[in-house]
A and B are shown apart, each in its own frame.
Chain A
Amino acid sequence: MANTKFIKSEFFFEEDVRESVAEVPVDKHQPWPENEKLKVVGKEIPRIDGYDKTSGTALYTFDINLPHMAHAKILRSVWPHARIKSIDTTQAENLPGVLAVITHKNIPEIKWFEDSFLFDTKIRYEGEEIAGIAAETEEIAEKALKLIKIEVEELDFTVDPGQAMKETAPKIHEGGNIVGGNPFTYERGNFEEGIKNADAIIEETYSTQVVVHNPTEPHCSVANWDGDKLTVWDSTQAIFTVRGVVSRALNIPENNVRVIKKYMGGGFGSKLAGGKYTVIAALLAKKTGRPVRLTLDRREMNLAVGNRPDSVQSLKLGAKKDGTLTAMSHYAYGSSGAYQSGAGCSWPFRTVYQCPNVKVEEYTVYINAGPGRPFRAPGHVQGTFAMDSAIDLLAGRINMDPLEFRLKNYAEKDQVYNIPYTSKKLREAYEAGAKAIGWEKRNKQPGVGTGRYKTGIGMGTQIWWGGGGPPAYVTLKLNRDYSVEVLAGSQDLGTGTYTFVAQVASEVLEIPMERISVILGDTGVVPYGPPSGGSVTSPSISPAVRDAAEQMKQKLMKAAAAVLSLKENDLVYKNGTVSSKSDPSKSIFLSDIMGKINEPVLVTTGAREANPEGYMIQTFGAQFADVEVDTLTGKVRVKKIVAAHDIGRVLNRTLLENQFHGGIIQGIGFALMEERIIDGNTGKVLTTNLHDYKLPLITDMPEIEVIIVSEGDPMISNTGVKGIGEPAHIPTAAAIANAIFNATGVQIKSTPMTPDKVLMALSQNS
């Protein structure tokens, strides 16, 4: 690696600010010019894994078939809250074809979550792991599950966060049901003063539902031991996290664990954590002496591998007649599930709009249900729905155009840390988006339309970190035949990591895409890279690729200087050939350089440089929705979404659009149809299949227009890239909600805004 230093660096991952000391390159490369000037980066290039994925040859963890492989299943609790008194596995063990059964009784105690274990005798949610079984086939393992006899003491349960917060509620953990014991609080200025100065005040409560990631490929692992070396194929967004979890759980050194993930069928945050199933597969593989595959089914996916916490948010906002926000308060609670996760959703509220007096108090509450996990912009989707709904209501109170209201309260600086942004082009996004949707066509008076179908236009604002940061490394191998392999400690979730890594290398080295291959997702071969979440992958990895490639170029120039006996500063690199500026007849192709120096493969390692100190990096954007509400049925059809965002540099327009489409349509799912429903009387989840848990279909998609107002953010890195996966998803629901408001004059204050809610709200209004 080139010259490096260690620096303190701050970066945001999902909802957390992470301060780390990281090794970063000393020399920064000149930031790239605007996209038009680049040859490969920013272009519409088909993804390089397209062949594998359309031919059926792409091997997912789900498809791994090792010789002599056994199949495992997990016994999960049918009770929401219980204490196990006894487990009898005799019958299961005696079933022909069963190879091994593990429970808390016959494995070492493995700590998990805050005060629990891999197999805990206290059950805190329906779907919690009780035992694992390996058998010759998955079917036999499933049958054996039913033969395990369990005696439990059932405990009172609570599945509603509002109820769980009360003193009288059944306790899920010793310390009570409020995660951390206290709310998160934040305050700036003086809220009460601010309210006094307001001409208009609104006070409303909004709520959002629990939604479940439901990636198509189930969570699954294949574990195979060779002596004390363990190889795990895992459908994961975070190979190094899984390696750490497995090594700690099994108490073996990390070098003995190799985690591989080539392709995965989606994650959306649900595959950011090391899973119990992975460790169970490894334990069963050890016990049976055979490779073991453990795949969750759709029901398990809907019970036990994460969700977006719900929220109840009470907002109070005040503004002057001229639109100036004077005070904002946010009181919220949401369910963590049975173990610690984050239900906080106030970040946008604290920082999107300029306001001197802000107060926040939010609670994350344990309930007897599957624990939450980050889900595509955790907190922000819920928070933005409530915040932007309230903003439109307040703007209406003072008869101000909601867009004008937002511009009036435009924040030039980050208000929480009181530091400037590296760049902020939200104003441009507002302008471009409003123009594209035809903002002037919106109802000046909400709900004025007549007839069965009422149309309306609404908007929402997005903020999200997405700047990435160190540590992130890339190894680049240049072969003498003018081909390249790039190894990155990252993973491709379907977001296009393989492709943009190749593009960046191709851009710098001027080697065609076809001659570049990319290797990701194998802890045994790739250098460290961050988990693929928080929209950090492209902003963290792309600068490291560029660094590695630039170093390779430097190396070739140095070698060429020696080979040609010329001064380095007299040389230029073009398309793999180094030539003399002063005497163009003197030139040498990289294959010849490498031949001369007798190096069949040249290697460099690149690193992500530090983020600038004293600046806040954020992505910004606005989405505009044009909807049609059927007043006879309450059904909302989203006709069009315009997404206008500032997300730094575009690496690949095609992949970018696809990401936006996904984020927006998932936003429609959140806004209009998806919901995990728990039966309050039994504490059991009712929506455990893909018919009761409704995901959007091709027939639910609107027309989508994606506008990018940024050309790159040179302050943050040598590629100027910010993430897009999460920004794309954040403001959709808010924009739809406000469009419904604009169409009907009625605000729907809880998601999903299903026809029954809309219809009842309309009928109560008329």
Chain B
Amino acid sequence: MKNFKYIPAESLEKASQKKDDSVLMAGGTDLLGMIKDDLLTPETVINLKSLKELKNIRYNAGKGLEIGALATITELAENSDVQKRFPVLVQTCKEIASPQLRNVGTVGGNLCQRPRCWYYRGEFNCLRKGGDTCFAVDGENKFHCVVGGGPCYIVHPSDLAVSLLALDASLEIFSNGKLKTVPIDDFFILPEQNETKENILEPGEIVTKIIVPEIPAGSKCAFIKFKERASWDFAVVSLGILLNTNGSTIKNGRIVFGGVAPRPWIDTALNTKLTGAATDEKNLKSLADSALLEAEPMSKNDYKIILVRNLLKQALIDLSKN
């Protein structure tokens, strides 16, 4: 790895006044890979872990859950309040990477991690690195996006992003000396907005916590991740679902797709159809078949659309059962 200085963040202010050639590090499980592969060549690495207050996980009845951005994925999964009230987050955590990585990787880092496109991670000077080509367009794009792409076609790698968006979470961000709160839906961006980053963070902005509202009474929640290997694999596609049904119809709900777009994806057309939809199998099937209608698959990934629809159909049926 390249030489760099490693300094603890003394405070949010100090850390956020970072220079261009310095980077923020949480667990480092993504960042170190970037540095090892020469994707980043920082002079200074600022260690956010010294900000101990960003590690707290707190639950307030009625208000919901606050997850410090520096809490590790294991800490989130082992928190008793989370286990009791947000089992879908526990389920998601268990699907992320491997036990060892979860012991080190943080929740904030998981949301801010960089894409896994193999051109991006390899020796290709592609658009996302400031080059002028997307190599995936007529290259090996089996794992790339089917919707929301252009001019870059990554999928967002974070599993937590999918669940947290389904739960309508917000992020607290330290920005220019102040804290601001941003719905997670507004946090992630598409390449058409900016093809060199995946979220709205400007240099020096720091995610401090993730705020998850209570799951509405009566709602059911699920995270389903499909991967090629039985474990320790990024999502080929994933679903985060929040669903409130009353016997025969859906009262309301939210469906989020992972692995299909450069950000956790809300298919608006599909989501607007949820409220009032009947929960008989036939209807749920046609609902699922209406997912990703606007998708434009690339040369090698049209299977993802079938995959999403199949998994969604099954999930809706399972969640509508009592």
Contacts and interface: CB of A to CB of B under 8 A. Distances in A.
A and B touch in the complex (CB under 8 A): yes
Interface of A: 78, 139, 143, 452, 632-635, 637, 673, 677, 679-682, 684, 686-689, 691-692, 694, 696-697, 699-700, 754-756, 759-760, 763
A708 B274 CA distance: 58
B228 A754 contact: yes
Nearest to A688: B122
B122 A684 contact: yes
A686 B140 contact: yes
Given A679-B139, A684-B122, A754-B228, A760 B303 contact: yes
B311 interface: yes
A700 B230 contact: yes
A280 B27 CA distance: 38
Nearest to B98: A697
B123 A684 contact: yes
A680 B299 CA distance: 13
Instruction: With a 10 A CB-CB cut-off, give which of A143, A632, A688, A699 has the most chain B CB atoms.
Output: A632
B119 A686 contact: yes
Interface in B206-237: 226, 228-234, 236
B306 interface: yes
A754 B301 CA distance: 12
B187 interface: no
Contacts of B121: 689
Nearest to A699: B230
Contact of B236 (A143, A696, A755): A755
B4 interface: no
Contacts of A694: 228-229, 233
Contacts of B229: 673, 694, 696-697, 699-700
Given A78-B123, A755-B236, A633 B311 contact: yes
A293 B138 CA distance: 41
A633 B307 contact: yes
A697 B226 contact: no
B142 A756 contact: yes
B33 to A, nearest CB: 9
A637 B230 CA distance: 9
Nearest to A754: B228
A634 B310 CA distance: 10
B230 A756 contact: no
Contacts of B230: 637, 697, 699-700
A143 B311 CA distance: 47
Contact of A759 (B2, B124, B139, B307): B307
26 contacts: A139-B1, A452-B314, A632-B314, A633-B226, A634-B303, A634-B307, A677-B140, A679-B139, A682-B135, A682-B139, A684-B124, A686-B118, A691-B233, A694-B229, A699-B229, A699-B230, A699-B232, A755-B226, A755-B236, A755-B303, A756-B142, A756-B304, A759-B306, A759-B307, A759-B310, A760-B306
Interface string B149-187: 000000000000000000000000000000000000000
Contacts of A696: 229
- Majority SS at the chain A contact face: loop
Contact of A697 (B2, B139, B142, B232): B232
Contact of B124 (A143, A682, A700, A763): A682
Nearest to A146: B38
B303 A632 contact: no
Nearest to B304: A756
Instruction: With a 10 A CB-CB cut-off, give which of B121, B138, B229 has the most chain A CB atoms.
Output: B229
A702 B2 CA distance: 42
Given A699-B230, A759-B303, A680 B139 contact: yes
Interface string B107-128: 0000000001011011110000
Contacts of A686: 118-119, 122, 140
Interface in B295-322: 300-304, 306-307, 310-311, 313-314
Interface string B234-257: 101000000000000000000000
B57 to A, nearest CB: 28
Contacts of B313: 632
Given A755-B228, A755-B236, 20 more contacts: A143-B2, A632-B310, A632-B311, A632-B313, A632-B314, A635-B226, A677-B118, A681-B139, A682-B124, A682-B135, A689-B121, A694-B233, A697-B229, A697-B230, A697-B232, A699-B231, A699-B232, A755-B226, A755-B303, A756-B236
B106 to A, nearest CB: 19
Contacts of A677: 118, 140
A587 to B, nearest CB: 60
Contacts, number: 81
Contact of A681 (B2, B135, B304, B314): B135
A97 B168 CA distance: 54
Interface of B: 1-2, 116, 118-119, 121-124, 135, 138-140, 142, 226, 228-234, 236, 300-304, 306-307, 310-311, 313-314
Instruction: With a 10 A CB-CB cut-off, give which of A694, A700, A756 has the most chain B CB atoms.
Output: A756
A692 B303 CA distance: 19
A681 B119 CA distance: 12
A679 B140 contact: yes
A515 to B, nearest CB: 41
A119 to B, nearest CB: 21
Contacts of A699: 229-232
A466 to B, nearest CB: 31
A756 B1 contact: no
Nearest to A142: B1
Given A686-B140, A688-B122, A633 B135 contact: no
A687 B118 contact: yes
Nearest to A685: B122
A476 B100 CA distance: 46
Contact of B231 (A632, A697, A755): A697
A764 to B, nearest CB: 10
A307 to B, nearest CB: 17
Contacts of B138: 681
Contacts of A139: 1
A763 B314 CA distance: 16
A696 B236 CA distance: 17
Nearest to A679: B139
A136 B13 CA distance: 40
Nearest to A687: B118
A673 B228 contact: yes
A635 B303 CA distance: 12
A443 B176 CA distance: 67
A632 B119 CA distance: 29
Nearest to B236: A755
A196 B242 CA distance: 63
A675 to B, nearest CB: 10
Nearest to A297: B36
B84 to A, nearest CB: 27
A72 to B, nearest CB: 18
B281 to A, nearest CB: 13
B145 to A, nearest CB: 15
Q: Kindly list the 10 A-B residue pairs having the minimum CB-CB distance in the complex, ordered from nearest.
A: A699-B230, A632-B310, A756-B303, A686-B118, A699-B231, A700-B230, A679-B139, A759-B303, A760-B303, A692-B118
Nearest to A677: B140
Contacts of A684: 122-124
Nearest to B33: A689
A679 B133 CA distance: 14
Nearest to A632: B310
B67 to A, nearest CB: 26
Given A679-B135, A681-B139, A697-B232, A763 B118 contact: no
Contacts of B232: 697, 699
Contacts of B314: 452, 632
Contacts of A634: 303, 307
A6 B300 CA distance: 59
Instruction: With a 10 A CB-CB cut-off, give which of A143, A686, A697 has the most chain B CB atoms.
Output: A686
B237 to A, nearest CB: 9
A571 B2 CA distance: 73
Nearest to A701: B230
A368 to B, nearest CB: 16
